[in-house]
Amino acid sequence: MTAIEMQPPRLSVGPFAWLRKNLFSTWYNVLLTILALALLYALLRPALQWALTEARWGVIAANLTLFMVGQYPRDQLWRVWLSIYLLSVLLGLSWGIWKHAARGFALIGLGAGFAFALIGLLLNSNVWINWLVAVALLFGFYALGRILPKRARSITSLAWLLYFPLVILLIAGARFIPFLSPVPTNLWGGLLLTLMITIIGNVLSLPLGILLALGRRSKLPVVRYFSIGYIELIRGVPLVTVLFMVSLLVPLFLPLGMPTPEAVIRAIIGFILFEAAYQAENVRGGLQAVPRGQYEAAQALGLSGPLTTALIILPQALRAVIPAIFNSFISLFKDTSLVSIVGLFEILRIGRSVLAQSEWLGTHREVFLFAFLIYWGFNMAFTYGSRRMEEAMGVGRR
């Protein structure tokens, strides 16, 4: 008996069917859809009209460098570009070597490069050349990465680890290095400041968080109570109070001779202390997930406590909570917006100072939208990239 193949009834497939099913299935859905559409139209039409005709985007164009790097000396900007180029190189190499795991971030890098180049063109700024160079580097090293042998993996990983301290060195400079004259942190501002705080804060808060998590599970009561006390104290108070407290108290706590650390350093310390408590809770979850048998097997083999923790427990614990750790990294980026409250010049504060310029009075909506888009864009980019990386690593799923 042959199988009978029939076409589904006319009204259940096709675009009309989709509309019926998803938008107009019941009477209240019809009502909701109409209301929602009306609301969207009422809000979007004036907004789009404003954005495309009345808005004075010149305020962004004229102050673009200010928004991006604050007061960073203009003749030293090559160091910022060098950091970006190095990032392109690393992204391209990683994409070529690890393919799927790094593809998310690489695509973001490409997208960002193109987008910024486009914005540069639109705003009549010469930076579009630099951005296209960055994109070209990405592609070039992607091609290189694809043909490199497996040994390159460890070298590239090492390169990533070295990248962050290197960037800090590049941006901050040091007295004893010829081309890298020190740039005091009070000149850092804008997106550069936000990113530097995020990087340094993330890099240093995770080790401290790991120590706290281990301390929280320690058999020694004194260590355990200290860790619990610290973690609960920090998690119970708002971030601004920690920043405020560190800003005010660090000068008081230092001995007479020592110079007061700059405001940016103090803010970074505040972030490190704050984030560490939250990362500690993340790591603790991972530590709890490692079965007891792992400890016992290591003990039976004669591995000492520290060796067991370093070689056996931590690799498994950290792997289990990579999504949570990345989430904390990303939320730190958002939190850096608060440094304006302790006087630092991140994007919002710069926006306020730009608005005070007589030329650009009344452009608060443009400035605000710009800051909003930067934060939102970077956030989405980081989230997308880390999600892709987690998927490729098969992490976060048992």
Partner 1 sequence: MSEIDQSQEIIIARDVHKWFDSFHVLKGINLEVKKGEVIVIFGPSGSGKSTFIRCINRLEEHQKGQIIVDGLELTNDIRNIEAIRSEVGMVFQQFNLFPHLTVLQNIMLAPTWVRRVSKEQSQETAMQLLKRVGIPEQANKYPGQLSGGQQQRVAIARALAMQPKIMLFDEPTSALDPEMIKEVLDVMIQLAKTGMTMLVVTHEMGFARAVANRMFFFDEGQVVESGTPEEIFKNPQEDRTKLFLSQILSH
Partner 2 sequence: MQISAFLRNIRVLQVLAQILFVLLLALAAGFFYANVTTNLARQGLAVGYDFITNPASFDIGESYISYEPSDSYGRALLVGLVNTLVLSALGILLTTIVGIIAGIARLSSNWLISRLAAAYVGVIRNTPLIIQLMFWYFGIVLQLPSVREAMALPGSIFLTQRGVYLPKLDPTPTFDSWRIFIWIALVSIALIWFSFRLIQYRTELPVPLWAYLAYIVVPILILWVGFVIQPEAPLTENLPALTGLNFRGGLRLTPEFTALLFGLVLYTGAFIAEIVRAGIQAVSRGQVEAALSLGLTRAQALRLIIFPQALRVIIPPLTSQYLNLAKNSSLAIAIGYPDLFSIAGTVINQTGATIEVIVIMMLSYLSMSLFTSLLMNIYNSRMRLVER
Identify the CA nearest to 266 among candidates 197, 210, 215.
197
When asked if residue 51 is in the footprint of partner 1 (CB under 8 A), the reply is no
When asked if residue 293 is in the footprint of partner 1 (CB under 8 A), the reply is yes
Q: Judged by CB under 8 A, which stretch of 63-71, 220-228, 312-320, 388-396 contacts partner 2?
A: 220-228
**x/- contact string, 319-358, with partner 1 (CB under 8 A)?**
x---------------------------------------
When asked if residue 306 is in the footprint of partner 1 (CB under 8 A), the reply is no
Helices (H), 148-262: 152-172, 190-216, 221-235, 239-253
Q: Is 349 exposed, middle or buried (0-12, 13-18, 19+ CB in 10 A)?
A: buried
When asked if residue 149 is in the footprint of partner 1 (CB under 8 A), the reply is no
CA dihedral 108, 110, 114, 116 (to 10 degrees): 50
Radius of gyration, CA atoms only, the chain: 26
CB-nearer residue toward partner 2: 118 or 237:
237
Q: Is 190 helix (H, G, I), strand (E, B) or coil?
A: helix
Q: Is the dihedral of CA 317, 323, 324, 326 positive or negative?
A: positive
Q: Is 188 helix (H, G, I), strand (E, B) or coil?
A: strand
Q: How many CB atoms lie within 10 A of CB 346?
A: 26
Q: Judged by CB under 8 A, which stretch of 101-109, 111-119, 138-146, 366-374 contacts partner 2?
A: 366-374
When asked if residue 311 is in the footprint of partner 1 (CB under 8 A), the reply is yes
The binder of 338, among partner 1, partner 2, none, by C-beta within 5 to 8 A per type, is partner 2
When asked if residue 50 is in the footprint of partner 2 (CB under 8 A), the reply is no
CB-nearer residue toward partner 1: 10 or 219:
219
The binder of 108, among partner 1, partner 2, none, by C-beta within 5 to 8 A per type, is none
The binder of 340, among partner 1, partner 2, none, by C-beta within 5 to 8 A per type, is partner 2
Q: Residue with structure tokens 């009978």?
A: 4
**29-33: long-range contacts at Cβ-Cβ below 8 A with a sequence spacing of 24 or more?**
none
When asked if residue 392 is in the footprint of partner 1 (CB under 8 A), the reply is no
Cβ-contact 324, 209 below 8 angstroms: no
Cβ-contact 196, 347 below 8 angstroms: no
Give the footprint of partner 2 on this chain (CB under 8 A): 22-23, 25, 29, 32-33, 36-37, 40, 219-223, 226, 232-233, 235-241, 244-245, 248-249, 251-256, 334-335, 337-338, 340-341, 348, 364-365, 368, 371-372, 375-376, 379-380, 383
Contact residues for partner 1 (CB under 8 A)?
A: 291, 293-294, 296-297, 299-304, 307, 311-312, 315-316, 319
